Amino acid sequence: MTRPGRFRLSRAHPWWRRAYYRALELTGRPRFKSHRASFIDFPRQRFKQVSFSNASEARRVEDNLRALRPLGLFPRFLFRLEGTVWTQFAEGVRVDPQNPEHVNGVLAFFACLYGHEPIQVDVDATDLQQRLLDNLNGLVAMGELDDPAYEQLAALAERLRPERAWMGCEYIDPLPKNFVVTGNGVVGIDAEALYRRELLGIGLAKAELRWLKMDRNALVAALIQHGGPDLGDQYDYANLYFLAHYGVQSVLRGKGARGCRAGMERLLEQHANQGT
């Protein structure tokens, strides 16, 4: 008989990922993610443990998981010990970007997430536009954009800026590895990437940049079809907002902002063709 209290701990990230994080620290580059994730295997069940650098971040994750627990979109929160959050391990298979059923499940996930108590705000009453311009300025300072490109993108940001925008729950790291398909649908396993009071659309914008190959109008329509809010008036703005922010992060990680620049160029071309 197994002795009570016996368990086995294993790292959630592979050795090469941990080596990459260590290299960032040694070279003085910001990692942006300060948590450490592990799996805890008891004789009859597996759990996930995420340790944060401070208790306030752990409380944020706890509060978010508690608030969204009825939706079933994330692993069940168990408890928090100071700066460490424990959740149940989500059993399932990783999302396959080539599987239409999996892609449809991800869209249903976002529709449900975005539909959870969204609020509309006056964009002029927020700092969204200023933060977008600040990040574009940062890309100029880093040598990723020249002055003419900045002027074009700043003008595009002004044209795309909606009067009112939906804010709410957002999953900011929606890579295939951060989803599993379960018997009850798609679950986001990176609970620390769940935020509230965010500009809706930035999570989908990252998915679109990295792997979700869908036409913009089809993407917005799919959200509505699954019961989510209509992001037609703000998705392109959210996309530009994301690309500017993620571009700065990518440069600071040493990866460059080539993909984000290409996404911005597509937005410029798209709206030039539309005459908007």
Which ranges constitute the DSSP H helices of 71-188?
A: 100-114, 128-141, 147-160
List of the chain residues with pLDDT < 50: 1-2, 15
Which residue from 120, 111, 113 is spatially nearest to 195, judged by alpha carbons? 113
Distances (CA, A) of 57 to 20, 52, 64, 216: 23, 7, 11, 34
Rg (CA), the chain: 20
* 10-38 pLDDT, tens digit each: 666 554 555 555 555 556 665 556 678 89
239 three-state secondary structure: helix
The CATH H-level superfamily of 90-276 is Aminoglycoside phosphotransferase (APH), C-terminal lobe (3.90.1200.10)
pLDDT of residue 2: 47
Q: How far apart are CA 235 and CA 15, in angstroms?
A: 37
Q: At what angle do helices 202-210 and 258-274 cross, to 10 degrees?
A: 110
Domains of the chain, residue spans: 1-89, 90-276
Give the number of other CB atoms < 10 A from CB of residue 157.
20
What pTM, to 2 d.p., does this model score? 0.88
Which residue from 252, 173, 170, 169 is spatially nearest to 207, judged by alpha carbons? 173
